[in-house]
Structure 1
């Protein structure tokens, strides 16, 4: 009897304790995330009132009852949320969102206000959240609320990101564009080259890349929906595009304050409104000066060039599309090429911004990817290489800009060589045909069935 009791205590209670701790940890994460989101929204609204900008709560209120600032973001978040519900609910919610949007469009038209959409999905998403939380239960409720949280987080992150851009302009009166422009000579001044090429190409190519540049969330939602398409009937993927997108959006903007840059069309082009050093982009590359220093700029323009998050997001979209069907792979390639072309050709970024953004993407993706693998030697090596490359590029731009402009060839080879090494290591770690052999060899066959991939 004593032996029986001891055995019972050694098996059943620890399992219950383990499940309880897991649920408690998940609950803490959920409530911590909600608290963090509320704090960010309130803090952003207070700062926005102080600097006379559009706050995140005000912007969110306009999505409900006014004129939404973005037409695509509310729909993107709403469509992502619908992945976690069944077909009948999905059709009903879509019809409700579309009908509400039509009503708001009609009212705005009669009022003489500009045409836009976005109210319908915001209201429908809120209603769906209440229904799922109050009326549903079990797995259905959990799955629905999880995808709803992803969709809502995408929308709220955009709202907070908008005020963050205003904060970067308010807190950094000096920008480092002269340093970046000089360092960019090591890559052959690609922004000047692509900007001139788009001018020659005419309005159609320019219009295509401009649309792709501003509608990146559209492609991201397509890839995310494909990755999450089976969550209502099967397990969740261990890693998906939304995780990378949100992490990049959390980490990347920090460096806007550390390394404020406004872009060539503003610092060296016609959009400078009198603050530019010279109106020469994209026709004339400025001469190399004898010395370099930061330049003043207005308190309105966001300092959101370094790193290029458009490049980081487009590259992550491309990476996550690689294991999809043919149409998705070609779509990912198209979006990446057009985004890179637009970031340079529209004068929004220097070439080296793209290298830093791509480095950030590969580093973040390596930290998040394949969580079942753990932090083995391959992952640690790759993340460390990414951090070292990212840090080295920023330090080089800041303190070696003049030598980079004076001796562009060796510096250009070094920059591209280091990034190529990072990209090759990334591919060999995550995509090479034999990448999993060392990792999977010690795992028994039953355990392999439990591993979830993208």
Structure 2
């Protein structure tokens, strides 16, 4: 009996392999996401708070939790379709949002948007999967998956914040207050500065702080602007770093639970705070720190500062284009502004201690080193850099926890060591990915 063998293709794979492997991987990923969402939803129902599926249902039929994230997800998804379809998708999303917003206002509810982009993003993925073929289908589905992951990541993140309060009833803020003394107590300093600058500056910093996903989408769209005309996806772009940071960083919240100065030492501690100090006066430095029992509402999401890590990754990705050429001035200045404003907000609003930000910087550079330029492989240069960053990150957390008292007693030495270790990781990162990277002459490129 004759047996027909699959036709071989270059690289040792068969045509059947090339067709089935991506499909199997996609089904496996979708199945894993569904299992995760269902599991978190069940846990949320048992614990008495909203889960990811309930929140997602409101994005479709009710009042969305966020007005900007659904639109950011749709904009990211549109990098995979042509200009004509982008216009249709945006028009449909705006129309649906207008209808939903009008119905809410007629019902006496507050103004909100976000239903339209959620519905259109879902429709885009369904139409691409069922109606389109070839590269057109592949690009649309990949972009839609990125947009959906951005939205779902925020839903999972909300549940994880509830988990941190359930599994860690006590927080380590007393340790960080001592450790932060080595950096000059920057949250108290910036808190007074922000108060003195007035409500206008506060409003700008608050908008920057909460709209970080919007800035990330601007950078991501710029990086992915050539996908449709060229059919090629870059090997690395900002969304990958954002998603991996969001997966790795929050795991530390249960290892090192911290609520922040304005909660532990300020007016928003719901009766659990050690006093109303922030930002007017520095609390007495207790040389016998202990875990502080806290409420069941405030997330333990300070260590490390993920806003700092994400803002730094945005800054890094605005330095150069994906081909190694220098980024345009508006993007470089925008990235620098967003990083500076985010740092000012995290400290000036009392959300973080200075040592949180240092840990966030090291985490960002380590994750970015693991993901950057995958075509260069995992040689000694990458293992060395990722290992160094991981060791410094772990060392910082252990130092904050077990050497907080000596850090407060010898602040100059301790501060120099903390900042010096982060600087060493930054220098190694720059030497590996920027100083040694080839520089090319930029060529004018049309934006699709």
Answer whether TM exceeds 0.5 for this pair: yes
> Runs (4+) of structure 1 moved beyond 6 Å?
none
Partner residue in 2 for 1:451: none
Partner residue in 1 for 2:278: 281
Partner residue in 1 for 2:244: 247
Q: Within 2, Cα distance between the matches of 1:287 and 1:114?
A: 44
Pick the aligned partner of 2:179 from 177, 183, 193: 183
Partner residue in 1 for 2:346: 343
Partner residue in 2 for 1:445: none
Superposition deviation, residue 202 in structure 1: 0.8
Partner residue in 1 for 2:323: none
Deviations 1:18-57 (A, max 9, x none): 5654554433432221112101111111111111111100
Deviations 1:220-268 (A, max 9, x none): 0000000001111211100000000000000111011111100100000
Q: Does 1:362 align with 2:365?
A: yes
Superposition deviation, residue 181 in structure 1: 1.0
Q: Within 1, Cα distance between the matches of 2:206 and 2:72?
A: 19
Q: Give the unaligned 5+ runs of structure 1.
A: 1-8, 438-454
Deviations 1:130-157 (A, max 9, x none): 1111110000000000000000011011
Q: Within 2, Cα distance between the matches of 1:20 and 1:264?
A: 58
Distance of aligned partners of 1:142 and 1:190 in 2 relative to their CA distance in 1, 3 Å threshold: same
Q: Does 1:417 align with 2:420?
A: yes
Q: Within 1, Cα distance between the matches of 2:367 and 2:145?
A: 21
Q: Give the unaligned 5+ runs of structure 2.
A: 321-326, 440-448
Partner residue in 1 for 2:67: 71
Q: Within 1, Cα distance between the matches of 2:9 and 2:199?
A: 69
Matched position secondary structure for 2:13? helix
Q: Does 1:320 align with 2:317?
A: yes
Matched position secondary structure for 2:302? coil
Aligned residues: 427
Distance of aligned partners of 1:294 and 1:250 in 2 relative to their CA distance in 1, 3 Å threshold: same
Q: Does 1:195 align with 2:191?
A: yes
Q: Does 1:101 align with 2:93?
A: no
Partner residue in 1 for 2:204: 208
Q: Within 2, Cα distance between the matches of 1:111 and 1:12?
A: 63
Q: Within 2, Cα distance between the matches of 1:54 and 1:301?
A: 15
TM-score w.r.t. the length of structure 1 is: 0.92
Q: Within 2, Cα distance between the matches of 1:124 and 1:14?
A: 38
Q: Within 2, Cα distance between the matches of 1:25 and 1:414?
A: 48
Partner residue in 1 for 2:47: 51
TM-score w.r.t. the length of structure 2 is: 0.93
Q: What's the Cα RMSD here?
A: 1.5
Matched position secondary structure for 2:268? coil
Distance of aligned partners of 1:431 and 1:338 in 2 relative to their CA distance in 1, 3 Å threshold: same
